[in-house]
């Protein structure tokens, strides 16, 4: 059994994390031993390793915040998903491991016949995309949404979800090589970022009004998509991929009455009811299990290769997600 553990944080995300062997744990009543099938590396995981994320676990810690596993063993007098059942792992339990011990009550059974690698990416990016499309502006079929970082994990889910709901998307990327991949996902308009973005967007959408802009980049890119909003529109920020604070000009927030808001999924979970959470995951599970919602996978690594996996996830110009897929047997 292996787990990817780190006892320090630093500017190089893969420097302090390493694969550490551990013995099979003794299970208490109510606990379940789960064999991890797959767990993604998200941007928030990389920022957690560098110490730049908004919520940091105490050290030493095991990396990984989401994933899917298969029940291997139940503790004494434990009721829960049976041995062999595919389950969604609880958020934040350290999923970059060959096995994890979890509270049986917190395991969510998933369809055994669905692709576990796609299900493994369900907890963070898909609900982020879904909620940003629904929590801030009431959209109707045919309405336009603009986003940057459109080739990111959240961006790809947002394109697919918007298409399912009948919305049109303007998708902004930072390099020409990303355009074709975003178009293949169903992006209606795909453009490279730049100071003249508003002019090019207006030419593409014609008389269409854009009331929702979604920003993951920060810096001047925030203002670029803010310029594309209709008067009184809403700009939602959920990331800072440029490493720079959001820039929004007085032209937008004062004279054009653009509202700027932030979104953090962890905060939404704090305030959402159990019913609201189950509604979101129920919708996403159905879409992923039926193949209507999926993400590209760049590469898969075993837990023993964790340093290489984190380095690959932190590098730019990827065209898909990096997954930890433990080798069993």
> Which structure tokens are listed for 155?
């961006």
| Terminal-to-terminal C-alpha distance of the chain | 10
Distance of CA 97 to the CA centre of its chain: 19
> Average pLDDT, stretch 95-111?
95
Residue 301 bears catalytic tag? no
Question: Who's near 295: CB < 8 A, 6+ residues apart?
Answer: 118, 121, 125, 153, 156, 157, 320, 321
Distance of CA 50 to the CA centre of its chain: 18
CATH code that applies to domain 127-266: 3.40.50.720
With a cut of 90, say whether residue 316 has pLDDT above it. no
Matching residue, tokens 């080798």? 327
> Which structure tokens are listed for 247?
């820039």
CATH architecture of 2-121+295-324: Alpha-Beta Complex (3.90)
Q: Which tens digit of pLDDT belongs to each residue from 115-169?
A: 999 999 999 999 999 999 999 999 999 999 999 999 998 999 999 999 999 999 9
Q: How much is the pTM? A: 0.88
Residue 294 burial by Cβ neighbours in a 10 Å radius (0-12, 13-18, 19+): middle
The predicted structure's pLDDT at residue 318:
76
Phi then psi for 206, rounded to 5 degrees?
60, -120
Phi then psi for 3, rounded to 5 degrees?
-140, 150
Cis before residue 285, ω within 30 degrees of 0?
no
> Which structure tokens are listed for 314?
């932190």
Q: Which tens digit of pLDDT belongs to each residue from 256-307?
A: 999 999 999 989 999 999 899 889 999 999 999 999 999 989 999 999 999 9
Catalytic residue (one of 53, 157, 167, 238): 53
The predicted structure's pLDDT at residue 328:
85
Question: Who's near 75: CB < 8 A, 6+ residues apart?
Answer: 27, 28, 29, 30, 31, 32, 33, 104
Query: 144-147 and 210-215: which strand pairing?
Result: parallel
CA distance 246 to 315: 22
> Which structure tokens are listed for 305?
């290769």
Strand, helix or coil at 139?
Answer: coil
Which candidate, 61, 46, 52, places its Cα nearest to that of 4? 61
Q: How far is CA 234 from CA 28, 149, 258, 270, 320, in A?
A: 49, 17, 6, 23, 29
Domain ranges of the chain: 2-121+295-324, 127-266
């Amino acid at each position: 059994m292996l787990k990817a553990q780190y006892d320090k944080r630093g500017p190089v995300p893969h420097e302090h994390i390493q694969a550490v062997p551990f013995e099979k744990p003794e299970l208490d009543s109510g606990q379940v031993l789960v064999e991890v099938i797959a767990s993604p590396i998200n941007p928030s995981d990389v920022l957690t390793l560098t110490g730049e994320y908004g919520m940091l676990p105490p050290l030493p810690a095991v990396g990984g915040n989401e994933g899917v596993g298969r029940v291997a063993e139940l503790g004494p007098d434990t009721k829960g998903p049976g041995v062999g059942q595919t389950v969604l792992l609880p958020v934040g339990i350290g999923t970059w491991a060959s096995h994890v011990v979890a509270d049986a009550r917190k395991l969510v059974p998933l369809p055994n016949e669905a692709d576990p690698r796609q299900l493994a990416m369900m907890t963070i990016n898909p609900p982020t995309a879904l909620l940003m499309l629904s929590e801030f502006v009431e959209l109707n079929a045919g309405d336009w949404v603009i986003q940057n970082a459109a080739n990111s994990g959240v961006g790809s889910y947002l394109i697919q979800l918007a298409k399912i709901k009948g919305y049109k998307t303007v998708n902004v990327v930072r390099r020409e090589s990303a355009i074709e991949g975003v178009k293949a996902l169903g992006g209606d308009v795909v453009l490279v970022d730049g100071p003249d973005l508003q002019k090019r967007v207006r030419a593409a959408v014609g008389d269409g009004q854009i009331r929702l802009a979604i920003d993951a980049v920060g810096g001047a890119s925030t203002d670029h998509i803010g310029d594309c909003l209709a008067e009184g529109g809403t700009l939602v920020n959920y990331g800072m991929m440029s490493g720079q604070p959001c820039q929004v000009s007085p032209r937008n927030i004062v004279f054009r009455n653009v509202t700027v808001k932030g979104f953090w999924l962890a905060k939404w979970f704090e305030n959402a009811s159990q019913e609201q959470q189950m509604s979101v995951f129920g919708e996403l599970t159905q879409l992923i299990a039926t193949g209507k919602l999926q993400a590209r996978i760049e590469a898969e690594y075993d837990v023993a290769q964790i340093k290489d996996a984190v380095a690959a996830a932190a590098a730019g110009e990827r065209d898909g997600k990096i997954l930890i897929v433990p080798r069993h047997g």
